């Protein structure tokens, strides 16, 4: 069973359902987006955060957090809750902005993924590994990647367009 925390318009779960016939549960902070998933896609979704959800223990085989953890004011608590809702031997997949990556180092305060005040916490490779270890996880794999679009947005921000990220969605 799969949990997608910060599922957005539920693209990942929708794709997995079409490909594999598997169904998962999404959690989405934005009420209008959660309503779309529920009312238009007819897929299961909870409105709020993982900490709001009150899910039963050891329910999920996999928890996915794509561009989610950096939005939480208490990421250690979120990771502890993730551990609680995972079955023994379960996995978590986390995708977060990389403050050590080339775009962040190149653009500094104009790095598009800085996205303040929406992004509350940033992890480098070591602090993420420490946070995961503190909450009972072991890092199995770590990969760096850069979305070319973010590099382009950072370039535009670097040229002085300060409000472009408001129009991202």
pLDDT score, position 98:
76
The separation between the first and the last C-alpha atoms of the chain, rounded to the nearest angstrom, is 29
Positions in the chain whose pLDDT score sits under 50:
165, 167-169
- Are 161 and 124 in contact, with CB atoms under 8 Å apart? no
- Are 143 and 160 in contact, with CB atoms under 8 Å apart? no
pLDDT score, position 52:
93
pLDDT score, position 33:
94
Q: Identify the residue whose tokens are 């809750």.
A: 81
- Are 27 and 50 in contact, with CB atoms under 8 Å apart? yes
The pTM assigned to this predicted structure is: 0.80
pLDDT score, position 151:
56
pLDDT score, position 31:
96
- Are 25 and 44 in contact, with CB atoms under 8 Å apart? yes
Tokens of 155: 């370039």
pLDDT score, position 120:
64
Residue 47, helix vs strand vs coil: strand
């Amino acid at each position: 069973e799969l949990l997608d925390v910060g599922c957005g318009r539920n693209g990942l779960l929708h794709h997995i359902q079409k490909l594999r016939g598997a169904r998962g549960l999404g959690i989405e902070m934005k009420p209008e987006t959660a309503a779309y998933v529920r009312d238009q896609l007819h897929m299961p979704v909870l409105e709020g955060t993982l900490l709001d959800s009150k899910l039963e223990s050891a329910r999920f085989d996999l928890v996915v957090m794509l561009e989610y953890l950096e939005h939480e004011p208490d990421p250690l608590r979120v990771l502890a809750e993730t551990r609680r809702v995972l079955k023994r031997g379960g996995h978590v997949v986390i995708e977060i902005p990389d403050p050590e990556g080339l775009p962040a180092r190149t653009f500094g305060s104009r790095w598009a993924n800085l996205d303040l005040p929406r992004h509350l916490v940033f992890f480098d490779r070591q602090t993420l590994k420490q946070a995961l270890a503190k909450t009972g996880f072991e890092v199995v794999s770590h990969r760096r990647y850069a979305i070319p679009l973010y590099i382009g947005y950072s370039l535009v921000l670097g040229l002085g367009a300060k409000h472009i990220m408001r129009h991202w969605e």
